[in-house]
Amino acid sequence: MTLESSDAKDASASGAPLGALEIRVLGCLIEKEATTPDVYPLTLNALVNACNQRNNRSPVLSVGETEVRAAIEALRERQLVTYFAGADARVPKFRHKLDVVYPMEPVARALMAELFLRGPQTTAGLRANAERMQPMPDLAEVEAVLNDLAQRPAGALVRKLPRQPGQKEARWAQLLGGEPVEAGEPAGSTGGASGERGSRASEPLKVALTLPPETEARIQKLESDVAALREELARLRAALGE
């Protein structure tokens, strides 16, 4: 379903915060659209791989198809992701609709994607990291774009966090995942036992999830419908001699 009215956009903007994996899925779809357009929209398998990717990610995750499917369904309910089933598509594919729900220019979209994928970053860090997706203007203009995202009439999408001890510059955080935690701990601290981060920093975070019965039933029905459509298309092609 395509959102066209401003009321629909505002309604989505005022919804509950997205979960961490939903944010990661959305960021991956935006990233891959820009960096690998030849394979976009993404299959479920490609999206799982993108979520588990080790470079350009913080934190590194370890998730499976079940978890990513649940995140996709949650994003579909918010109209931020849609299925794509072209005539030549053998498996369902997925594409983001961030621009439909939150209209923005390519530079802003790339900056949002980086915040989705790596978490809070400085203006300079965002500019450097987003360059792979979209040519970036100078630092002052990037700051202006971020300020625009922070002052949107329908609701701020980002916020500049207070500079923390040990940080030379303030960082920006995205707000679709809810209010950022403005911890008073020095950067790099986990609040856990001493040395815990050092022993676990390189290990991906594992996400486990059990789907609600209604969601599982919906996914199974969608998969069944896609399979039936694929069989019907094959019969039509055979009848036409293709």
- Distance between CA atoms of 44 and 52, rounded to whole angstroms? 12
Q: Where are the domains of the chain?
A: 6-178, 210-242
Q: How far apart are CA 14 and CA 66, in angstroms?
A: 27
Residue 19: per-residue pLDDT: 96
- What kind of fold does domain 6-178 have according to CATH? Arc Repressor Mutant, subunit A (1.10.10)
Which segments of 16-64 does DSSP mark as H helices, in order? 20-35, 44-52
State pTM to two decimals.
0.73
- Residue 28's CB is within 10 A of a number of other CB atoms, namely 27
Q: Tell which phi-psi region holds residue 155, choosing left (phi > 0), alpha (psi between -120 and 50) or beta.
A: left
Check residue 234 and give its pLDDT: 83
- Per residue in 16-71, pLDDT (tens digit) is 899 999 999 999 999 999 999 999 999 999 999 999 999 999 999 999 999 999 99
